[in-house]
Structure 1
């Protein structure tokens, strides 16, 4: 199991950073559940929950198209938590190159695939989301 967690830790970051959505979606189980406050902003839905690879892929593809954002630096400090089927890491607000969107990735892994993926936003990222939502509603 530890090898699966390490593999997901390395490959998810690499594929997401490099906009490799097909490789990224292949890390997910067919019936995976994905949750993020960004889902309603990207897909214009009421819920932040996506079920199944098709819904998740649609989010990943659309999110990748919209990503040029100076606050997405992809900085990780190398710390992660891996135990049983749980993988957690952070993209901290403070980076060597300035602030970035601060989020925590929490995944459940089974049989080498992501079955549940939840993204928790820190105060800086949340403020950025709120500002974006307010602009959209003006």
Structure 2
């Protein structure tokens, strides 16, 4: 679990999508409110590594965003097969997109990944969705 916590952050921050997708099971599910915005899909649910990789690649392509600072407190929580951590809104250098990452891990791979956005990040999503109508 700790390895997923460390590697996922490292690969995502460095835009290493090929390494990042290897952390996922073949039939993994990813849910994020960013899915419809980035890949023009009605649902926020992606199934399988092919769909997830397309999302990761598009998200990487659309960065940088000054509100993605990648700050974490170093605290994470594990219970059973669930791993949770937060990118809090408030950082030592100002505000960032506030996200909670929740992953179910089986056999060392992510099988279910849900990304929850806080109020600050949600405002950014709403603005982006309205601009792209």
What does residue 69 of structure 2 align with? 73
Please, which of 22, 28, 43 is the counterpart of residue 26 of structure 1?
A: 22
Report the Cα offset of residue 39 of structure 1: 0.4
Residue matched to 1:36:
32
TM-score normalised to structure 2 length: 0.99
Count the aligned residue pairs: 133
Could you tell me which runs of 5 or more consecutive residues in structure 2 were left unpaired when the two chains were aligned: none
1:133 aligns with 2:129: yes
**Separation of aligned partners in 1, 2:23 and 2:130:** 34
Structure 1: unaligned runs, 5 residues or longer: none
Structure 2 counterpart of 1:62, from 58, 65, 88: 58
Q: CA deviation at 1:13?
A: 0.2
Superposed displacement of residue 81, structure 1: 0.5
Aligned counterpart in structure 2 of residue 48 of structure 1, from 20, 34, 44? 44
Paired with 2:131 and 2:37, the residues of 1 have a C-alpha distance of 12
For 1:38 and 1:64, the matched residues in 2 are separated by: 12
- How many angstroms apart in 1 are the aligned matches of 2:127 and 2:48? 30
- RMSD across aligned C-alpha pairs, in angstroms? 0.5
After the TM superposition, which segments of 4 or more aligned residues of structure 1 sit over 6 Å from their partners?
none
| Superposition TM-score, scaled by structure 1 size | 0.95
- Structure 1 residue 112: Cα displacement: 0.2
- 1:54-94 per-residue CA deviation (whole Å, 9 max, x = no partner) reads 00001001110001100000000011101110000000000
